[in-house]
Amino acid sequence: MNLQHIVKRQKTKNHKQGTNMNAIKLTIASLLVVLTGCAGYPTFKLAPEQAHATLRPIEGGEWLMCHSGTYYTLKAEPKTNVIKLPVGKTLMLANYVSINDGNTIHTCMPALSFTPETTQVYMADVAYDAAGCVISIAQVDPERKTGLTMVESATVAHCPK
């Protein structure tokens, strides 16, 4: 084998490794796009005059909703951190959770279904504990000492049509 043949062979080997690395980089980039919601569901927007309920998320993360059989990303209004929800029909509410406890990254997406009522204000919380991910929703209720009433009608999540 001469030197030219060895150099050519080495270039070919490096080219193949580069191609594999490019494929790996592309796969990782694609996964990040999907996981961060950049290529996800459309953002839900209510018409300004449409009746609505208000959701105040306690935790951040990516909030999702399924309404009339369609999934949407929910975006909080920047100044108030509230989300306007459609009323009168059952919807599914979910939150993508990623928690780093120092040794492990836990990810999950807890969800529930409920029917928001016009002009009501709801607070949603997501937590991760030994039992796994939990999502809860409460209605703001000034008559209660705590200021909140749990939404007892919330059920196991389903995407209603």
pLDDT at 72 over 80: yes
Our measurement of the distance from residue 101's CA atom to the centroid of its chain's CA atoms, rounded to an integer in Å, reads 20
pLDDT at 60 over 80: no
Tokens of 113: 């279904």
CB neighbours of residue 28 within 10 Å = 10
| Model confidence pLDDT, tens digit, residues 18-44 | 445 544 544 444 444 444 444 589 999
pLDDT at 48: 85
Task: Name the pTM for this structure.
Answer: 0.70
Note the helical H segments in 63-145. Answer: none
pLDDT at 113: 94
| Model confidence pLDDT, tens digit, residues 79-126 | 998 999 999 999 999 998 887 888 888 788 889 999 999 999 999 998
